[in-house]
Chain A
């Protein structure tokens, strides 16, 4: 159930990150958490390749790294939501991304938030964690 979520902006800059670690695996995964960021950013090339041939927002599973699968969701203004996960769960992940998209748009509606800036809002953080607990 270990997962890693990254929201990456249009200039490949990280906007938000979230690590979900089950307690049992806590000792091993702490060492691997820097690898998650690397793997997520490495899959950005594949997203850009597939971006212009598909009309949909949810781009399913785009890559695999050993036992971790990488799923991506692309918003109309080119913000990428990347999820690293070990178990296959297409429907749950699609719903998760859609809810995350809605949360992201609500953050955008704040006129003081510039697109592409890192998200520091505690409210956003809390809601994403609740969503992750529910769907993933």
Chain B
């Protein structure tokens, strides 16, 4: 019992789960969340890691669809965490509540934090009102991956589509995101991320007016 009236704490982290790891040593809670100058990872290290990821996935899948789904899942987990981190690093953090707002946020802030530049364009599909497209002219993911002719339809940007899907789903805009290659003469590896929003999102948008 403290004699000088200091408060007592009771928390859900029970005393019986004492870990043997030191609490006061180097800990994830001490790491800096802000971007430190010159802390960018080198492109070669990233390309190496990504190629190993692709190779590992390749040995475990049965087809191209499955391959893209696996990459999508990997990216989903990254997107879930990026929602919080990217918003926190903004000058005045705000939650996005409208579809257009969050898509513009992805187009500018998310791309800027991941790749250092804005995405190349954000388009709305004319025929279907729940589809939006984010275009990247030269995605860093496809730079060092060479796709064999028999797997022509595979696009490794399925990972990037997974990041966008994880980002939107965690921010309460459930959707499906897929990556498609739409090459132009000046940009041979131009990729379009097609975002298909869930019907509940559209109903909510209508309700909000």
A66 interfacial contact with B, CB 8 Å: no
Known: A123-B27, A123-B28. A118 touches B7 (CB 8 A): no
Q: Are A102 and B95 in contact (CB under 8 A)?
A: no
Cross-chain contact of B8 among A21, A118, A127, A128 (Cβ < 8 A) = A21
A-binding residues in B (CB < 8 A): 1-2, 5-13, 17-19, 23, 27-29, 31, 33, 77, 80-81, 83-85, 87-88, 93-97, 170-172, 204, 208
Residues on the A chain within 8 Å of B84, using CB: 75-77, 104-105, 108
A-B residue pairs in contact (CB < 8 Å), sample of 11: A17-B12, A18-B9, A21-B10, A22-B7, A54-B97, A55-B94, A77-B84, A105-B33, A122-B17, A125-B11, A133-B6
**How long is the Cα–Cα vector from A24 to B112 in the complex, in angstroms?**
52
The answer on a CB contact under 8 Å between A105 and B85 is yes
Interface residue count for A (Cβ, 8 Å)? Answer: 51
Across the interface, which residues of B come within 8 angstroms of A26, CB to CB? 8
Cβ-defined contact, A127 with B29, below 8 A: yes
Does A95 sit at the interface, judged by CB under 8 A? Answer: no
**Chain A residues with CB below 8 A from B94, complex form:** 55-57
A126 interface hit (Cβ, 8 Å): yes
CA distance A75 to B80 in the complex (A): 12
Across the A-B interface, give the 9 residue pairs with the lowest CB-CB distance, nearest first: A77-B170, A125-B13, A17-B12, A19-B10, A76-B87, A18-B11, A55-B94, A77-B83, A105-B84
CA A16 to CA B14, docked complex, whole Å? 11
Contacts of A24 in B (CB 8 A): 5
Structural contact, A105 and B13, CB atoms closer than 8 A: no
